[in-house]
Chains A and B, each alone.
Chain A
Amino acid sequence: MVSGYGGEPILQGVDIALEAGRIGVIVGPNGAGKSTALKSLFGLISLDQGRVLFDGTDITLVAPDKRVGLGIGYVPQEMNIFPSLTVQENLEMGAIIRDDDFSHVIDQTFEIFPPLKDKRYSEAGQLSGGQRQMVAIGRALMVEPRLLLLDEPTVGLSPAFVQDIIERITSIARSGVGILVVEQNARRALEIADTGFVLAGGKNLYTDTGENLLNDPEVARSFLGG
């Protein structure tokens, strides 16, 4: 992929490939183009060059809201909930494109995120940071996506919550959903990654299994803080 916001492209050739039901983690220094890569995959930024394939179909020209219908969920980094709606209503909004009965998906979401069940009639804006993140991910899960794109889901959370969210991500993946996550907490994230993508300067620097990247002294020194 090559893309950006006009002018010099931010992504200067990034390849991301993920198999169904696996966890991919995108790490790298600030300004490496991690979020841009995710937005480009979801179609929020149109590509200058390259293609996006989903299940073998070329979706490069499909609008983001239509990609939701195809089975791709996207959770932006900020402003990712409807604060004045209740938790339940946030989840219902996630399912707005569904015409069938989705109550079982709401129940499943509460199983993944038990704290939300007690707060289902509270305004989402009143919740703690970690719970808001759960609402945001839960909203994206309502279409029962086959691929979930998460942009820094642990940003600004306390370490306990970071661990919590990362564990939930693993359990969502175990239910068969492919997850591509951009993470600041590189070490923690790579621990759960099937595939890790290290980006720098808008390019792929390393692509390997999470384990190999963690054990690679070069990667460790440059991106994991030694």
Chain B
Amino acid sequence: MNCKNVVQKLPDYLSHTLGEPETVGVRAHLDLCLECREESRLLSASWDMLGLLEPVQPSAYFHARFWEKVRQQENVVLERTGFFAKFPFVPALAGFFVLWVLGVAGGARLFAHRHETATPMEIALNRFTSPYPQNSIEIIFQEGRTPTGRMPVTHQGESL
């Protein structure tokens, strides 16, 4: 066994994971070769030195903090599996309904407002485009006839 082979096998030799015949071969080489023996000593010592790093201990609140995290997580899961998790469409539906109510209410208000206060332009346009004279209502109530001479009828054809 030459030095190159031995150096390759040293980590396994030092961790006792080398097969019996190879272990004997490496040991025999180390007995004779000073350079490889020094290499083996340095490898072993540097590996052992790592053991001098003292382990850290968990801080006082390590356990408490962990279980607090677990509790927080379980609360989130409970929230997710509550009413809205079972019926996920409810919030969307409720939102849609609110928007619909707002739309209808707003539209109705706008419609009413527009009919209460026609703009001067609308009044002028109405005057020119309407087939009825401006005093149609007065004619109906005072003279008992419509401006066209025909009585208004309902949609069903009954006379008013």
Do A and B make up one complex?
A: no
